[in-house]
């Protein structure tokens, strides 16, 4: 069953200052499933680019909010698939992707999937599951592109996400106009699953670098030097990084409002370790780093930004 929202108009086709056309997706019917920190801004950007966007989420509040802005809504993934040529998934984990596709409490995408429908998974999903789901969707007449992202909520809101893409050339070419609306860098990494492999590598680097910044700041504080001064000095040198810039400042300010939740970072690192195990590789630093996230999540910090990893270190001030 479908419902239509009211209000809101598509842009007039003028440029947005980035060199991209304002409405490159006119005529496309796109569904977005998953309306969290990333999904809501993604849906808004696609609609602003001219697409007819239908949304669905297991949480009713963001659906109601977007309906009030003029979005069409679907009560189930199957209802959404029945009216969309391209479906974007922005859900929390592999189990959620499998449920959305195959069905669970509600009918899944496969129930009404039309021939030629492209499913674009922009979440971080296990590689083996990605390849299995892609094969199932292809057998049903659809196509699959995995396109996990880096950049967090800020990147989603500003349409500057870094997108790592896996899929067949023709399918990626079809997905590219959508991805270029959302991302500042879109890289085709290989066949289905390659995007998720790349994202696993990304999350290993992110998790370990957050840990490195946390340890460096804790060391400086214990040795009597202000971490803010240390960050200022390091930003001009070889240790400078986006993580030192953004997450380092969050650590100094003690502001752990989530852009990427600790539970999500831990899940992604667990998937990277699972992939390593499947390939016969040991990742000792990643395994150790994950235990720090495990401890903080068990202590109740899972909803905080992943930069709150600094709280795992004894040298850091205790919480108020």
Active site residues: 199
Helices (H), 118-168: 127-139, 152-158
Taking the CB of residue 287, how many other CB atoms lie within 10 A of it? 14
Helices (H), 140-283: 152-158, 169-182, 194-222, 227-234, 242-253, 262-278
Position 319 scores a pLDDT of: 54
Q: Characterize the bridge pairing of strands 52-56 and 72-74.
A: parallel
**Residue 143: strand, helix, or coil:** strand
Residue 43 pLDDT > 70, yes or no?
A: yes
Q: What are the tens digits of pLDDT across the range 8-17?
A: 333 333 444 4
Q: What are the tens digits of pLDDT across the range 79-121?
A: 999 999 999 999 999 999 999 999 988 899 999 999 999 999 9
DSSP state letter for 16: -
Residue 82: both structure tokens together: 């029945």
Position 109 scores a pLDDT of: 97
pTM of the model: 0.88
Residue 293 pLDDT > 50, yes or no?
A: yes
> With contact defined as beta carbons under 8 Å apart, do 167 and 190 qualify?
no
Q: What are the tens digits of pLDDT across the range 192-227?
A: 999 999 999 999 999 999 999 999 999 999 999 999
């Amino acid at each position: 069953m479908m419902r239509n929202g009211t209000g809101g108009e598509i842009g007039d086709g003028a440029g947005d200052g980035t060199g991209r056309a304002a409405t490159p997706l006119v005529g496309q019917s796109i569904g977005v499933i998953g309306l969290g920190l990333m999904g809501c801004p993604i849906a808004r950007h696609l609609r602003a680019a001219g697409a007819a966007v239908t949304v669905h989420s297991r949480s009713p509040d963001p659906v109601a909010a977007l309906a009030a802005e003029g979005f069409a809504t679907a009560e189930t993934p199957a209802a959404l698939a029945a009216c969309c040529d391209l479906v974007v998934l922005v859900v929390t984990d592999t189990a959620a992707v499998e449920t959305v596709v195959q069905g669970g409490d509600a009918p899944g995408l496969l129930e009404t999937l039309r021939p030629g429908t492209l499913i674009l998974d922009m979440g971080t999903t296990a590689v083996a599951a990605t390849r299995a789901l892609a094969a199932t969707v292809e057998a049903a007449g659809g196509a699959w592109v995995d396109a996990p992202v880096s950049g967090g909520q800020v990147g989603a809101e500003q349409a500057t996400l870094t997108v790592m893409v896996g899929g067949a050339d023709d399918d990626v070419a079809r997905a590219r106009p959508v991805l270029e609306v959302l991302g500042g860098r879109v890289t085709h990494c290989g066949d289905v699953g390659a995007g998720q492999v790349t994202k696993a590598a990304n999350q290993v680097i992110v998790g370990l670098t957050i840990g490195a910044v946390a340890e460096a700041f804790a060391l400086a504080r214990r040795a009597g030097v202000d971490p803010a001064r240390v960050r200022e000095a390091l930003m001009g040198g070889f240790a400078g990084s986006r993580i030192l810039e953004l997450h380092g400042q969050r650590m100094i300010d003690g502001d752990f409002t989530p852009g990427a939740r600790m539970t999500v970072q831990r899940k992604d690192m667990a998937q990277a370790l699972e992939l390593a195990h499947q390939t016969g590789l040991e990742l000792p630093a990643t395994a150790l780093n994950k235990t720090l996230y495990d401890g903080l999540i068990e202590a109740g910090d899972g909803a905080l930004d992943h930069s709150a990893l600094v709280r795992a270190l004894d040298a850091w001030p205790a919480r108020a």
